[in-house]
Structure 1
Amino acid sequence: MTSVEDCRAAIGKVSDRILETDEADRRKHLVERTVSLTVSDLGTVFDMRLTTNGLEDVTSRSTDSAGPKAQVRITVAADDLIDLAEDRLDFAKAMFSGRVKLDASFGDLMRLRKLL
């Protein structure tokens, strides 16, 4: 079974992947945003900031605990998060099949699609 620490490591891998993107592209397509990632089957929410330096200030809390409303909200199962981080699952396909729920403004969606 996937643990909260496995999910935290997956978030680190996604952050590393962001940093692998050319810095000019990151600056062009990324606007700093607050992000919440709800791991539905673990009852955990990861709050973080998306920046040109990757995902920063990652903290976790229970889904029962109130947190700040993030500008980008993602809901995913733990195993799917791991598969996304390991590049075994395509984000767009996962989103359109309902395995990933993404709640963000249209502008954020357009910018993020360049990096995902």
Structure 2
Amino acid sequence: MANAEECREALEQLSRNMAKSTGDVRQAAALDRSLSCRITDLDLTFTGQLRDGRIQDVVATPGEPTEKAAIRLTMASDDLLALVGGRLNFAAAWAGGRIRLEAGFRDLMRLRTLL
């Protein structure tokens, strides 16, 4: 099980990866939406803002999110690290129930490019 600091670093790496992207991926990441990432095994939620192709203003709070973000991810800590490290395919993990993604229909359609 990864710890909170490793999860924060993984989210920062994801943000850096999105910022370096080009083409359709860059366009999909250019949303301006609230974001939450619930880490189930740590009982911790990271919240922030997806803006200008980066995850900004990240804050960690214990428990479930207090507000409903526009884009909501839920997963175990090791799955977050594996996903960002390229060892876990998002689509397969999502289809297998290891990762949960909730967002509005239009956001899901744009985000599918990232997946």
- TM-score under structure 1 normalisation? 0.90
**Is contact 2:7–2:77 with CA below 8 Å preserved after alignment?**
yes
Could you say if the C-alpha distance between residues 97 and 20 of structure 1 is closer, same or farther in structure 2, counting changes exceeding 3 Å? Answer: same
Alignment size in residue pairs: 114
Distance 2:5 2:25 in 1: 30
2:31 maps to 1:31: yes
Could you say if the C-alpha distance between residues 44 and 31 of structure 1 is closer, same or farther in structure 2, counting changes exceeding 3 Å? Answer: same
2:45 maps to 1:11: no
The unaligned stretches of length 5 or more in structure 1 are none
Aligned counterpart, 2:73: 74
Per-residue CA deviations over 1:20-72 (Å, capped at 9, x if unaligned) read 1127852x3232110110000000000011112410000000115x5222011
Aligned counterpart, 2:90: 91
Distance 2:23 2:52 in 1: 8
Distance 1:114 1:54 in 2: 15
The unaligned stretches of length 5 or more in structure 2 are none
RMSD: 1.6
Structure 1 residue runs of 4 or more that deviate by more than 2 Å after TM superposition? 23-26
How high is the sequence identity, in percent, across the aligned residues?
37
Could you say if the C-alpha distance between residues 24 and 68 of structure 1 is closer, same or farther in structure 2, counting changes exceeding 3 Å? Answer: same
Could you say if the C-alpha distance between residues 24 and 83 of structure 1 is closer, same or farther in structure 2, counting changes exceeding 3 Å? Answer: closer
**Is contact 2:24–2:113 with CA below 8 Å preserved after alignment?**
no
- TM-score under structure 2 normalisation? 0.91
2:41 maps to 1:41: yes
**Is contact 2:31–2:53 with CA below 8 Å preserved after alignment?**
no
Distance 2:24 2:54 in 1: 14
Amino acid at match of 1:43: D
